[in-house]
Amino acid sequence: MLESAGSSTEPREPAITRENVTAKPIDAHEPWMRGLHADTGYLLYRLGLRSGQLFNACLQESGLRLRHYAVLRFLAGTDGAPQRELSTRLGYDPSAIVGLVDDLEKLGFAERRPSPDDRRSRIVVLTDSGRDFLRDTDEAGLRVTGELLGPLDPAERELLHALLLRIAEEGLN
Amino acid sequence: MLESAGSSTEPREPAITRENVTAKPIDAHEPWMRGLHADTGYLLYRLGLRSGQLFNACLQESGLRLRHYAVLRFLAGTDGAPQRELSTRLGYDPSAIVGLVDDLEKLGFAERRPSPDDRRSRIVVLTDSGRDFLRDTDEAGLRVTGELLGPLDPAERELLHALLLRIAEEGLN
DNA sequence: AGCAATAATTGTTGTCGTCAATAGTTGTTG
DNA sequence: CAACAACTATTGACGACAACAATTATTGCT
């Protein structure tokens, strides 16, 4: 577990199990459904929540949470970034980054290195161990995604991914 | 203390203005981007977050948050539901519903009525004022959605909406 | 009548997000 | 070149919130 500075014992499992995340099916013809999901934005919000829950459920056995994962994912594409960049790019508060990197460092997934240019900034790099972890959890991620995208066939999934990506390109964090 | 993630969700008076939510555009060709958004599930999560932020930014001037909105939206389709149903259907803890309905009642958007069948359950109904509010904010919602879905043309938006709806039908709270 | 189950509610606790403050470092400018 | 402004990482404090447990009132069962 990781509890960085908190140095505590039990992180108190968030009780997000597959069972209570996966809820009862929905009939789109019920009136309340029409009311709820009328708007694409709101729909996106709800589904994002659900996706996050599923992801977290997968991650929690490794003691990490989505934010850690986000940092790792980011690092995987940059080979080394100062914390400041993590903050702005991922949209987390600088003080949040500190704890996240602490945790990752404690698990050996990342490490801080002094910047050659600027002595106040510290560059976070992904370790081999971190890269392994990332590859392993990618499978879990795909499993989750498969679960989430259940009713869609491969072509539709591809389409959805493309659409979402287009939206994301337009200013995400 | 374990992190503390940034520029994000929905505290009472968040510094979530349209300005700092809408951030710098993203180039999908940058390597970190490929790392970050490789998975549809994760992508969905990030976009859901963003959508929630935008929604909250719109709602905050009325003193409500996304959860309140979800309750109102649900009520709009049911004309009266016991709090227990709100809890299970929306996926919120029963104790959370209490506060939410308290707020809505205080603003005159909803009210509790005794259930004729069961004296321990209280039925929450949308008031006319609440219905008005809902209609007003719907416009704002559409505006947000439009902003969010910027790069998509109408046909693509329709397509996205349909896809998301299909996913949502498959078990969403 | 007695007892398990349920609805709403309160209280508690741990976690999170935000802001303010600090220390060390850099760049700038008078 | 010395003073000052800006910036990086970090810590600490505070308010808000979500998850759980416990309480009260009511119902259904046997």
Task: Summarize pLDDT for A24-39 with one digit per residue, the tens.
Answer: 444 455 554 555 566 7
Task: Write the CA distances from A160 to A127, A140, A167, B76, B78, integer angstroms.
Answer: 33, 20, 11, 29, 31
Chain B contact for A40, CB < 8 A? yes
Nucleotides of D under 7 A from a protein CB: 7-13, 15-22, 25-28
Whether B89 contacts A82, CB under 8 Å = no
| CA distance from start to end of chain B | 31
Binding-face residues of A in 49-108 toward B, CB within 8 A: 49-52, 54-55, 66-67, 69-70, 73-78, 87, 89-100, 103
B98 touches strand C (CB under 7 A): yes
User: Residues of B with CB below 8 A from A27's CB?
Assistant: 169
A101 touches strand D (CB under 7 A): yes
- Residues 30-49, chain B, CB closer than 7 Å to nucleic strand D: none
Q: In what order do the strands lie in the sheet with B110-114?
A: B81-82, B122-126, B110-114
Average pLDDT over residues A135-149: 82
Q: How many angstroms is C1' of D6 away from CA of B91?
A: 46
Task: Write the CA distances from A10 to A2, A3, A6, A13, A145, integer angstroms.
Answer: 9, 9, 11, 8, 29
Task: Write the CA distances from B28 to A169, B43, B51, integer angstroms.
Answer: 6, 13, 19
Of A44, A73, A92, nearest to B48 by CB-CB distance is A44
pLDDT digits (tens, 9 = 90+) for B48-103: 888 888 888 888 778 888 889 889 989 998 989 999 999 998 889 999 999 999 99
Q: What is the pLDDT of residue B18?
A: 38
In terms of CA atoms, which chain A residue is nearest residue B26? A169
Of B40, B49, B144, nearest to A164 by CB-CB distance is B40
Distance CA B67, CA B45 (A): 17
DSSP secondary structure, A102-166, as one string: HHHHHTTSEEEEE-SS-TT-EEEEE-HHHHHHHHHHHHHHHHHHHHHTTT--HHHHHHHHHHHHH
Whether A53 contacts A59, CB under 8 Å = no
Global pTM value? 0.75
Whether A68 contacts A107, CB under 8 Å = no
Which residue is closest to C14 in terms of CA–C1' distance? A12
pLDDT digits (tens, 9 = 90+) for B72-81: 989 998 989 9
